[in-house]
Amino acid sequence: MIGFKVNLSWHYLVLFSPIFIGATDNPSFAFFLERQFTLYLTLALSFGALVGVGRFFLKRNKTAPSTLLLGAAGLLATVASVLSLATLSADMPWLIASVVLLGFSEAFLMFLWLHYYMEAAAGHLFRSFAVDMMAGGVIAFLTCSFVPPLSYVVALCMPAVATVSLIANWRTIEPVDAAAPAPAVKPPRKSILRHSLKTLLPTTVYAFVFGLLQGGFINSGIALLMAGNAVVLVGIVLAGIVIFFIPEAPETNADIDTIHRFSLLFFVLGIVGLSFLGGGGVLLASETVILAGFNLFDFGGLILGVGLARRLKPGSLLLVDGGRVLVYVSLAVGLVVGKCVVTGFGVADPSLVLYSLCGAAITMLVATVLTPFREQESFEAQIARMTSESAESGDAATGGAAGSEAGAAAAPASGAPAPAASRKAAAESAPAASAPAPRDEPAPSKPALSSKPSGEPKRADTPWRRTCRGIAELYKLSPRETEIFFLIAKGRNAEYVQQKLVISMHTAKTHIANIYHKLGVHSSQEMLSLIETFREDDIKSQEQD
């Protein structure tokens, strides 16, 4: 995932760095305002357009976008970066045109990376995103610390590195059949959108405050939050460190509440520094902690959106890309409002207007944190509970010995008694399942590899999958066990199974233990050896035929 880290560092440089903005001691602060407003608005419009047409790009090759599309996105980002650097001293129309191209290419490349994350990222999104934030902030800081033209060369290479890594990562994802069924339990679309908006509203307020401060101070001759000093980018690293150490607790909302508190703390400390403690080193420290506070909230909302989209697969891009639209629109609106406030009321005493602006910003932030935006039971906890109940009831209702066995395994694992009908079915089928086979009955033969059990996900048929399918049938794995068997046969662990299927960790480990018992193995390595043995036998039999 080095490419996503590099892509984030390029994103930070485009938004905040003099490499793409120009020297922040330039007296033409009007250009800074126009540049930032154009960039924010372009990013919002680009993500808005991608909400409508992005699915066409993502599904060109079942799961992964075409390599040609990914390469075109990287080439466009590289060309936009070159033009942005080449037009830093050009006339205003050329400067604005290069910013528009840069914003669109940045949005497109970020869109592709975020949707790769939704398809294949690891279970712990908080820590995964936090590491990416920290690495991206460090790379951006080091790049700004280089002496030109080395800093320019490194910045121009970033889109290419991000694209090559993205292509390599997409190729590792196994194509999924487009006809594969949606999750068995999915809340109504209105409920999903309502929860997403409740989660995003605080983030949009923080984005508005960020733009408000930036617009007001830039209009007063202070290039706020535009990293004339690379130390400001350390705020991104600080935000990543905080997110990394926040324990994930979607069932209680404790994780997002902790992010709220830290974000408010950093924002308020930074605003107080801007308002009352003067410039110099204090101004630099204030900018750093404000950037940390904003990124805490911005990436916190992004993490929640990605996690929810991965769970629900709602057939819409609004959960992640729609959130990007709201954030960048809020930044643009805040920028304009800050400029208008200072211009309209700062004739007599501009410093008094800036103090008032900071006071209003603190008031909005505190009111946002104190407002109860979410339900008593978190939406993620509701999804986990509904999906777990559906999966366990589905296992219990499966007919035959395999279905009865799966239902009996799921009920104790979840800590709830099995339904009466399931217990009756299990009691009736238990003697037949446990009765010893007659002595003259031949050993079970290997089933035909073309048959496909109901528990297997609908994916492209491969020799490896046919071998695993044959093993599942031979050893009479239940549909749920077959589904989990395909995951752990690819090297996944219980934690991944728990995240992927939205079940409790105890349930996942119980299913895996049952699979090991049926296969007669004691570890994942023994199971992989068993699969390899079956595969070699299949190859030999095919050669003999």
Q: Which two tokens stand for residue 291?
A: 């950037």
Query: Comparing C-alpha atoms, which of 124, 338, 358, 144 is closest to residue 232?
Result: 144
Check: CB of residue 222 under 8 Å from CB of residue 282: no
Q: Which two tokens stand for residue 290?
A: 């404000």
Residue 410 in this model has a pLDDT that exceeds 90: no
Report whether 14 contacts 158 (CB < 8 A): no
CA within 13 Å, CB half, 69: 17
Q: What is the largest CA-CA distance in the chain?
A: 104
Which two tokens mark 217?
């101070």
Q: What percent of the chain has pLDDT over 90?
A: 21
Is-contact 250 381, C-beta < 8 A?
A: yes
| Partner residues linked to 459 by β-bridges | 176
Give Cβ neighbours of residue 397 (< 8 Å, ≥ 6 apart). 403, 407, 421, 422
Classify residue 200 as left (phi > 0), alpha (psi -120 to 50) or beta.
alpha
What pLDDT does residue 101 have?
95
3-state secondary structure of 459: strand
User: Which are the contacts of 377, defined by CB distance < 8 A and separation ≥ 6?
Assistant: none
Let me know: does 95 contact 180? Beta carbons within 8 Å: no
The Cα–Cα gap between 351 and 339 comes to: 14
Neighbours of 191 (CB within 10 A): 13
Calculate mean pLDDT across residues 357-369. Answer: 87
Tens of pLDDT, residue by residue over 483-538, are 898 888 887 888 888 888 878 777 888 888 889 888 888 888 788 888 888 877 77
Structure tokens at 219: 């209009």
> Which CATH number describes the domain made up of 2-176+192-376?
1.20.1250.20
Identify which of 172, 140, 200 has the alpha carbon closest to the alpha carbon of residue 16. 140
Q: Residue 346: its pLDDT value, please?
A: 62
Output the CA–CA distances (angstroms, integers) from residue 356 to 19, 149, 440, 461, in the order listed. 32, 41, 92, 65
Q: Tell me the two tokens of residue 314.
A: 């709602």
Token pair of 499, please? 């995240």
**How far is the C-alpha of 105 from the C-alpha of 111, rounded, in Å?**
10
Question: If pLDDT is split at 50, 70 and 90, which confidence band does 62 have?
Answer: low
Q: Range(s) for CATH 1.20.1250.20 in the chain?
A: 2-176+192-376
Q: Is 294 within 8 Å of 267 (Cβ atoms)?
A: yes
Dist CA 65 CA 61 (whole Å): 6
For the chain, the straight-line distance linking the first and the last C-alpha, in angstroms and rounded, comes to: 44
Report, in angstroms and rounded to the nearest whole number, the Rg of the chain calculated over CA atoms.
27
> In the prediction, which pLDDT does 197 show?
72
> Does the pLDDT value for residue 545 go beyond 80?
no
pLDDT for position 311: 64
What pLDDT, on a 0 to 100 scale, did the predictor assign at position 420?
38
pLDDT score recorded for residue 162: 94
Check: CB of residue 162 under 8 Å from CB of residue 7.
yes
Distance CA 63, CA 81 (A): 29
**Tokens for 425?**
């079915």
Cis amide bond preceding 444, omega within 30: no
Give yes or no for a contact between 437 and 421, defined as CB atoms under 8 angstroms apart. no
Is the confidence at residue 449, as pLDDT, over 80? no
d(CA 295, CA 130): 11
Q: Return the pLDDT at 395.
A: 45
pLDDT value at position 347?
A: 57
Mean pLDDT in residue range 404-421: 37
Best-predicted range by mean pLDDT (74-78, 245-249, 305-309, 528-532): 74-78
